[in-house]
Structure 1
Amino acid sequence: MVKFFKHNIRKVRYFTTIISVLLTVIAIAAIGIKGLNLGLDFTGGMVTEVQLDKSVSSNQIVKQLQPEMGESVSVTSAGEEGRWVIRYSIPEDGSEAINVGSVLSSYSDQVEVVSNSIVGAQVGQDLFEQGGLALMFSILSILGYLCFRFEWRLASGSLLALFHDVILVLGFFALTQMEFNLTVFAAILAILGYSLNDSIIIADRIRELLVAKQNKSVKWVNDQAVIATFSRTMVTSGTTLITVGALWVMGGSALAGFSTAMFIGVLSGTWSSISIGTVLPEWLNLKAKHYRAVEVDAAP
């Protein structure tokens, strides 16, 4: 596998770039047509804390409530055994909210509603706006760092790879209509940092080779930079995916959105830094002369 990768690195880079372009188009279309299924964190709704039999699991509660309350209902542990926090949307037609205790009474012998609270739509709107500002601020900070660290042709590859990773995650959530909540948004911010780290390592190696091997073509330099960092990339991505996979399998519904977004982001971040991060500078005609020291005329 490694030998095949090294001998066909240029074909791999171009092929994955084509795949990235196709997936990005599909993701943008999904976002534009279906939109995101915003969770209660952004839209507002009801939050009910209940005490049930200790033998009842979160999946059983969700199956019992979804027919009555719809797909938006979510169940998370309140920290104590048998105590659960249930989030669900308020009926849009203005009718009275469904009594969670009465719905669960036919399923559990011990049902005690500990508390009921409402997350207002205004609070959800504020969270949405603040989250958008946080995302914009992080992207602008990354843009400033890349402009300072690399020549613009090389920096553009890393920046486009970042947008690619975020768009793919958003497109997946739009396509599947999984709930987009604050935990998913936190995963997107984490993906930005992860993808940037991977792209910078490869871009740094490209810059070093451009200075050291000025007689070589940019395509050759990019191939060698990817090969030189491939082992490190696979180890880092592999261990991260194992951790995220464990969260995905064992985290339950509370971490389903976070772990799904992280898994897709880490996977796409790995190949986008190899494909988009190296191919775009080639298309922009990056050359060794762009990193050659500028001669200063010392004549008086």
Structure 2
Amino acid sequence: MFQILKAKQAIDFMRWSKFAFVLSLMMIAGSIFTLSTQWLNWGLDFTGGTLIEVGFEQPANLEAVRTSLEGKGFSDATVQNFGSAREVMVRLRPREGVKGETLGNQIINAIKEGTGENVEMRRIEFVGPNVGDELTEAGGLAILVSLICILLYVSMRFEWRLAAGAVLALAHDIIITLGVFSLLQIEVDLTIVAALLTVVGYSLNDTIVVFDRIRENFRKMRKGEPPEVMNNSITQTLSRTLITSATTLFVVIALFLKGGAMIHGFALALLLGITVGTYSSIYVASALALKLGITREHLMPPQVEKEGAEFEEYP
């Protein structure tokens, strides 16, 4: 009776699974189209470039420095504090036909004219494109290896249909997040790679909580159909999923709004990833497992026959 009452109160998530599939396919197709036409806006960590360290006599006004450089044609410059408030690091994309020393003098003069402060160049370095290529390969490999390891782990912990649903949902989250970055042409650096790996772990944690409840309910609700079990399981874990996502998003939104330009991309990647990951944990992962034909028999522990059970005992 309790199980029947519970089933009546459950939200019918699987009713909207077809709509969710269409929405997800549209977002993935749009992301792949955007990535294939304009790819990603790689940052200096991947493309290489020039790094210039500048010293100020007073704490530097970073916004004034950025405005000064933009006025002199260095709109691609990345400006951030380095070590202390008086030390500023400026990173620029490679410029053909311009020597590093000449570029450094141009940056120093632009900052002096724009801010009216006396500054000096402390250090200038050039990062070659070969290093950027290695970082690009290492970053992509890190994401790929993490997905493979997750597939192996979830396959050992759950039935393969649930494992496939979990990994496909993770790929769904990564592709859509990268598609938004490609569409908006937001600069991608190593912090974005770190954010994507964080999103993978966060989304997987949500999915595993739901899958644990699905496996438990398949064994308890012996007369329940798979869609009914899925709906009950997602409903029972919904409050936990929403509370966790909401509290995490509060922090990420604060970072996005008040964290400054340097972590803007990192916060945006987390914001997109957590939002899409929460949606995929509720709809995509479980619905994919259902489409693959998950049933109660697939999640029941194997029965071990006792030795001699086939012989009948006589008094």
Same fold (TM over 0.5): yes
Task: Structure 2 unaligned segments of length 5 or more: list them.
Answer: 1-8
- Please say if residues 153 and 286 of structure 1, whose CA atoms lie closer than 8 Å, have aligned partners that are also in contact: yes
- TM-fit CA distance, 1:161: 0.8
Cα distance between partner residues in 2 of 1:238 and 1:25: 28
Instruction: Give the match's secondary structure for 1:95.
Output: coil
Cα distance between partner residues in 1 of 2:56 and 2:12: 58
Aligned to 2:148: 140
Q: Which amino acid aligns with 1:264?
A: L
Aligned to 1:57: 61
Aligned to 1:40: 44
Q: Which amino acid aligns with 1:243?
A: V
Once the two structures are overlaid, the 10-residue window that deviates more, 131-140 or 230-239, is 131-140
Once the two structures are overlaid, the 10-residue window that deviates more, 206-215 or 61-70, is 61-70
Match among 233, 237, 246 for residue 225 of structure 1 = 233
- Provide Cα deviations, 1:202-226, integer angstroms capped at 9, x if missing partner: 0111111111112211111111111
Figure out how many residues of one structure are paired with residues of the other and give that number. Answer: 295
Q: Which amino acid aligns with 2:97?
A: G
Cα distance between partner residues in 1 of 2:21 and 2:93: 40
- Provide Cα deviations, 1:230-257, integer angstroms capped at 9, x if missing partner: 1111111011111111111121111011
Tell whether 2:91 aligns with 1:87. Answer: yes
Cα distance between partner residues in 2 of 1:115 and 1:69: 21
Once the two structures are overlaid, the 10-residue window that deviates more, 215-224 or 10-19, is 10-19
> What percent of counterpart residues are identical?
34
Cα distance between partner residues in 2 of 1:203 and 1:295: 22
- Provide Cα deviations, 1:61-101, integer angstroms capped at 9, x if missing partner: 2233235455432111113223211111121x323453211
Aligned to 2:207: 199
Aligned to 1:212: 220
Tell whether 2:23 aligns with 1:15. Answer: no
- Please say if residues 11 and 231 of structure 2, whose CA atoms lie closer than 8 Å, have aligned partners that are also in contact: no
Cα distance between partner residues in 2 of 1:247 and 1:146: 32
- Provide Cα deviations, 1:91-123, integer angstroms capped at 9, x if missing partner: 1x3234532111112112222222111112122
- Please say if residues 202 and 273 of structure 1, whose CA atoms lie closer than 8 Å, have aligned partners that are also in contact: yes
Cα distance between partner residues in 2 of 1:8 and 1:69: 56
Task: Structure 1 unaligned segments of length 5 or more: list them.
Answer: none
Cα distance between partner residues in 1 of 2:135 and 2:193: 11
Cα distance between partner residues in 2 of 1:206 and 1:71: 52
- TM-fit CA distance, 1:53: 6.5
Instruction: Give the match's secondary structure for 1:207.
Output: helix
Map 1:281-292 to 2 at 5 A.
281-292=289-300
Once the two structures are overlaid, the 10-residue window that deviates more, 38-47 or 133-142, is 133-142
Q: Which amino acid aligns with 1:242?
A: F
Q: Which amino acid aligns with 2:154?
A: L
TM-score scaled by length of structure 1: 0.91
- Please say if residues 62 and 79 of structure 2, whose CA atoms lie closer than 8 Å, have aligned partners that are also in contact: yes
TM-score scaled by length of structure 2: 0.87
Match among 126, 129, 145 for residue 118 of structure 1 = 126
Match among 28, 32, 45 for residue 28 of structure 1 = 32
